[in-house]
Chains A and B, each alone.
Chain A
Amino acid sequence: MVEAKSLTFRFPESSDAILEDVTISIRPGRTILSGASGSGKSSLLALINRLYPENCDGILQGRLTLLGRSHDEYKPGEINQQVGTVFQDPDTQFVMGRVEEELIFTLENLATPVEQVDQRVTDILESLQLNDYRHREIDSLSGGEKQRIAVACALVGKPEWLLLDEPLTHLDPVTAYRFVEWLDKVNGLNVIVVDHRPHIWGDFFDWQIGLEQGRIVQNEPFQSVDDFTFTRSIARQEGEERYMVEEVVRDSFQLKSTTLQVRQGEVIAILGPNGSGKSTFLRSLTNGDPRVGLVPQSPEHLFFMDSVERELQFGHEEAIETVLVDMALHEQRHMHPLSLSHGQKRRLAVGIQSLSNKSLLAFDEPTAGQDEPSLHALEALMKRHAERGQTILFVTHDLSFANIANTFYLMKDGELSGPYGDDLWQDAKKLRHYRLLGGPDVTT
């Protein structure tokens, strides 16, 4: 399907190549493109569905043949009849209000004769077992359901290929597992998936292509892999502190009040699926307690000044030099906080908190969408602060990363249970009950 020969690609504003001397041939079947952030895998995908190079004025050299024709022979939108795409963010893929309208929108774009539209919508929903969703409002669906609808929209035009760009990023492990299981049942589909954490996909793929800094480093039959490994924090734990988490009642959801007993240097993971109330828990914990610092899922939400220096200096008179060096941000001190990389933003967020002497650092879903180096950087950062006697608490549905914690709590329907120690991992029944483990159906 895709034949690339000595392909080089770069953005006009930079002289660094995003892809360099890429020679590959992607055959029918299921292929995964993996690699760290910035390895060029997403750009390669965008070249395949022809969003690039036009939309970014990118500069492309070498030969790229798509479905037997040179890439530049396609008119805009033409290849999208044969190639359907699903993107990573479930919230920015839809134009219309209801599922049916969204499918119709796609069929209209493909100039499908009006008398066929109704049947095509029925057919695709039936073949994907999504009949029940036909008249649902898209905004009322969960992330996993939205991704299935996105697949339906991509497939309704009967493409030969389906491309998925990190489709599991915003899903919790059980939802992600179910999504893969469901996709596995769709017959005769040629798939190219971009993902930097292939383990969730099990043995879904036939072929794997690995990229590193724009170059192909792996091009071979797929072998399922284990997830990245993380090791427990060994920081010394001492003292004891109590934090109140007050009750929150909103619509039909209720967060029960609890008191959290923690030790300095302890690393705590709060585990639970999407929608279990983890974020509400964090809000209630941070609300009004000056000892607690929060690093939001998007660290840039904390920033509102126009340079790193001013950001760190906001609201106090203390010297910021040590923190700047400590967080390896001294070279970026005059840059705008919003122009930093994700890792730098996170360090800046932590730096802000350490200047205000927080005794507990809370992280909201810090692992979402992070690649391996970035996860290990996060691991190191958390451990370092634990060793300095701060308490680290993070909410996540990432079970591998949770391994760095000393203590675990589980969250379901607004109720917190715990603390648990290591033995939690042997208790598969409990993990299933909390929708943290895939596999057989959840029984309660």
Chain B
Amino acid sequence: MSLHDMNPTIKFATFTLIMFGLALFYNPWTPLIIIVGTLMIQLMATDVSWKKWSLFTIPFLITALGTFWTTLVFGKDLGGETWVSILGQSISKQEFAVAVSLSMRVLAFTVLSLLFMLTTDSKRFVMSLMQQARLSPTIAYSALVGFRFLPLMQQELHQLQYAHRLRGVPLNTRWERIRHVPKLLLPLLAGSIRRAERIAFSMEARGFTGGKRTVYERIDIKPTDYVWSCVFFLLFGLSIWAGI
């Protein structure tokens, strides 16, 4: 019963509801329980690479720390007894609790999103949205084509940069490359439009018109999907209880 097999749409709906729910609770314990619980599920029911996970977490960790610090130092003065004093700022226990709550919330969002991202195949997600959430095939397959185009665009970008460097445009430092970006946009856009037109013709020539079509690979909703959904909502319930 791996989380990888859970129906992507149900997973998406579950996680989204919990994230909206989290925004209503303003204490450090609710997000903390969510973080711990999510990580335990990730440890037991998935084969997510922890190395990859850690790398993805770094920027969010910095955001969380930033949130903590700015709330602590620049947040609204809630008065109350001075608990500790940092850099001449007196900080009360309430202020500290607010800062912890906010940064914990950032981390809880991160942990949930990463669990979704790392256990969901993008193609299966799009297929499932099409079947369970009535996403139109035109949009769904356009998204799939978009995924395929990214490496092609990257390749074209490298070719352009190479050709422009040959013409004597300095592109050695990062700043020089960034400054040159506006000049690359038009050729890149022109190339993408040409490719998009070709693929659109190709799709239509193969009978893809947004009309009636059959579905070969069914992505069904299984009882285990609801079980998983319940597990996450139970975790959420537990975290609310812990926060009261």
Partners in one complex: yes
Measured CB to CB, the residues of A under 8 A from B are 46, 49, 51, 55, 76-77, 80-81, 84-85, 87, 89, 91-97, 104-114, 117, 139, 153-154, 157, 283, 286, 293-294, 296, 298, 300-304, 314-315, 338, 352, 356
Bound CA span A81–B151, Å: 31
A114 partner, pick from B167, B183, B208, B214, beta carbons under 8 A: B214
Pairs A-B, 4 closest by C-beta atoms = A77-B209, A109-B207, A85-B205, A92-B198
Q: Decide if B207 touches A77 in the complex (CB within 8 Å).
A: yes
B151, B168, B207, B214: most-surrounded residue (chain A CB, <10 A)? B207
Q: Decide if B214 touches A111 in the complex (CB within 8 Å).
A: yes
Q: How many whole Å from B150's CB to the nearest CB in chain A? A: 11
B216 partner, pick from A49, A114, A139, A296, beta carbons under 8 A: A114
Q: Apart from A304-B186, A304-B187, what are 4 other A-B pairs with CB-CB below 8 Å? A: A87-B202, A107-B216, A286-B166, A293-B166
Q: Decide if B215 touches A154 in the complex (CB within 8 Å).
A: no
Q: Which residue of B lies closest to A290 (CB)?
A: B168
Q: Decide if A301 touches B216 in the complex (CB within 8 Å).
A: no
Q: Decide if A93 touches B207 in the complex (CB within 8 Å).
A: no
B174 in the interface (beta carbon within 8 A): no
Q: Decide if B209 touches A76 in the complex (CB within 8 Å).
A: yes
Q: Which residue of B lies closest to A94 (CB)?
A: B148
Q: How many whole Å from A125's CB to the nearest CB in chain B? A: 16
Bound CA span A395–B124, Å: 43
Q: List 23 A-B pairs, Cβ < 8 Å.
A: A49-B205, A55-B200, A80-B205, A80-B206, A84-B205, A87-B198, A87-B201, A91-B195, A92-B198, A93-B198, A93-B199, A95-B148, A95-B203, A104-B216, A108-B215, A109-B206, A111-B214, A114-B215, A153-B206, A283-B162, A296-B163, A300-B187, A302-B166
User: B203: which A residues are within 8 A, CB to CB?
Assistant: 95
The total of interchain contacts (Cβ-Cβ below 8 angstroms) comes to: 124
Q: Which residue of A lies closest to B168 (CB)?
A: A315
Q: How many whole Å from B198's CB to the nearest CB in chain A? A: 4
A95 partner, pick from B145, B190, B216, beta carbons under 8 A: B145
Q: Which of B116-173 contact A (CB under 8 A)?
A: 123, 141, 144-145, 148, 151-152, 159-160, 162-164, 166-169
Whether A294 touches B166, Cβ cut-off 8 Å, given contacts A111-B214, A114-B214, is yes
User: A303: which B residues are within 8 A, CB to CB?
Assistant: 187
Bound CA span A111–B214, Å: 5
Q: Which residue of B lies closest to A46 (CB)?
A: B201
User: B144: which A residues are within 8 A, CB to CB?
Assistant: 95-96
Q: How many whole Å from B232's CB to the nearest CB in chain A? A: 30
User: A157: which B residues are within 8 A, CB to CB?
Assistant: 206-207
Bound CA span A81–B198, Å: 19
Q: Decide if A77 touches B211 in the complex (CB within 8 Å).
A: yes
Q: Which residue of B lies closest to A98 (CB)?
A: B123
Bound CA span A23–B186, Å: 41
B179 in the interface (beta carbon within 8 A): no
Q: How many whole Å from A118's CB to the nearest CB in chain B? A: 8
Bound CA span A46–B145, Å: 22
User: A93: which B residues are within 8 A, CB to CB?
Assistant: 198-199, 202
B204 in the interface (beta carbon within 8 A): yes
B206 partner, pick from A55, A106, A117, A338, beta carbons under 8 A: A106
Q: How many whole Å from A340's CB to the nearest CB in chain B? A: 12
B217 in the interface (beta carbon within 8 A): yes
Whether A80 touches B207, Cβ cut-off 8 Å, given contacts A95-B144, A108-B215, is yes
User: A112: which B residues are within 8 A, CB to CB?
Assistant: 214
Q: Decide if B169 touches A106 in the complex (CB within 8 Å).
A: no
A81 partner, pick from B164, B195, B207, B214, beta carbons under 8 A: B207
Q: Decide if B167 touches A352 in the complex (CB within 8 Å).
A: yes
Q: Which residue of A lies closest to B190 (CB)?
A: A338
Q: Which residue of B lies closest to A110 (CB)?
A: B207
Bound CA span A295–B200, Å: 30
Q: Decide if B204 touches A76 in the complex (CB within 8 Å).
A: yes
A97 partner, pick from B123, B167, B198, B202, beta carbons under 8 A: B123
User: A315: which B residues are within 8 A, CB to CB?
Assistant: 167-168
User: B208: which A residues are within 8 A, CB to CB?
Assistant: 77, 95, 105, 109
User: B169: which A residues are within 8 A, CB to CB?
Assistant: 304
Q: How many whole Å from A330's CB to the nearest CB in chain B? A: 22
Q: Decide if A117 touches B162 in the complex (CB within 8 Å).
A: no
Bound CA span A304–B159, Å: 13
Q: How many whole Å from B153's CB to the nearest CB in chain A? A: 12
Bound CA span A409–B123, Å: 46
Bound CA span A430–B110, Å: 61
B52 in the interface (beta carbon within 8 A): no
User: B195: which A residues are within 8 A, CB to CB?
Assistant: 91-92
Bound CA span A93–B204, Å: 11
Bound CA span A314–B167, Å: 9
Q: Which of B212-244 contact A (CB under 8 A)?
A: 212-217
Q: Which residue of A lies closest to B218 (CB)?
A: A114
B41 in the interface (beta carbon within 8 A): no
Whether A51 touches B204, Cβ cut-off 8 Å, given contacts A95-B141, A315-B168, is yes
Q: Decide if B216 touches A108 in the complex (CB within 8 Å).
A: yes
User: B163: which A residues are within 8 A, CB to CB?
Assistant: 294, 296, 301-302
Bound CA span A168–B117, Å: 40
A104 partner, pick from B151, B184, B217, beta carbons under 8 A: B217
Bound CA span A338–B119, Å: 44
User: A283: which B residues are within 8 A, CB to CB?
Assistant: 162
Bound CA span A300–B162, Å: 13
Q: Decide if A109 touches B213 in the complex (CB within 8 Å).
A: yes
Q: Which residue of B lies closest to A306 (CB)?
A: B186
User: A89: which B residues are within 8 A, CB to CB?
Assistant: 198
Q: How many whole Å from B134's CB to the nearest CB in chain A? A: 17
User: B215: which A residues are within 8 A, CB to CB?
Assistant: 108, 114
